Structure 1
């Protein structure tokens, strides 16, 4: 018992006595300061600029992805159209003479060039 026990009292600002209404579990009210959480115009402008840069990059990436997908779709469509045309001419060759089919091919190509 020769050891002395040191007891630290809480800071003086923390102890303010009993509340008048008896509700010690509520926090003490502070002064109303409506401009307390506002940021300066420069900070807001910098944040807006950074957000705009991010949005532009996202849009660029989305456009690039969409263009790539459209390229693949177009390639598939052209391959299918060419395959259908080959099958159609093969079917015509079964019925007609080969030279006549080649003549018709050339004529169809000329018509396609005129239309487009």
Structure 2
């Protein structure tokens, strides 16, 4: 046995094609134009359309869900602010008026709100 190792044959990943005729070696090599190469069957296209529609429907559903949650949060914030403003208004009224009269006005306003709704 000899101590020298044999060099392994390395298969080239790209086939060497030689120099370009026009001298523009920095450009990529173009492949032949084959117009029928990208065509797919009708069944394949319909299947792709169905999957795309399903994905779009799911995306739309998720967006609507997210928007509904956002609107719910916004409505909660508005309700809290409205309640706080009403409470402050009743406190100001209580400073000026008698407590029983304030309670009576509250009940009357609640009745009016229910009638409007």
| Structure-1-length-normalised TM-score | 0.72
CA 1:24 to 1:108, structure 2 compared with 1: closer, same or farther past 3 Å? Answer: closer
Rg: which structure is higher?
1
- Find the counterpart in structure 2 of residue 23 from structure 1: 21
Q: How does 1:1-116 map to 2 (within 5 A)?
A: 23=21, 33-116=34-117
The number of aligned residues is 94
Q: What is the deviation of 1:35? A: 2.5
Distance in structure 2 (CA, Å) of the matches to 1:101 and 1:109: 12
Q: What is the deviation of 1:25? A: 7.1
Distance in structure 2 (CA, Å) of the matches to 1:55 and 1:25: 49
Give CA-to-partner distance per residue, 1:91-114, whole Å, 9 cap, x none: 000000000000000011111111
Distance in structure 2 (CA, Å) of the matches to 1:90 and 1:99: 13
Gaps of 5+ in 1: 1-21
Q: What is the deviation of 1:34? A: 3.3
CA 1:86 to 1:24, structure 2 compared with 1: closer, same or farther past 3 Å? Answer: closer
Give CA-to-partner distance per residue, 1:16-38, whole Å, 9 cap, x none: xxxxxx938797x96x7533321
Distance in structure 2 (CA, Å) of the matches to 1:24 and 1:109: 89
Name the Cα RMSD after superposition.
Answer: 2.4
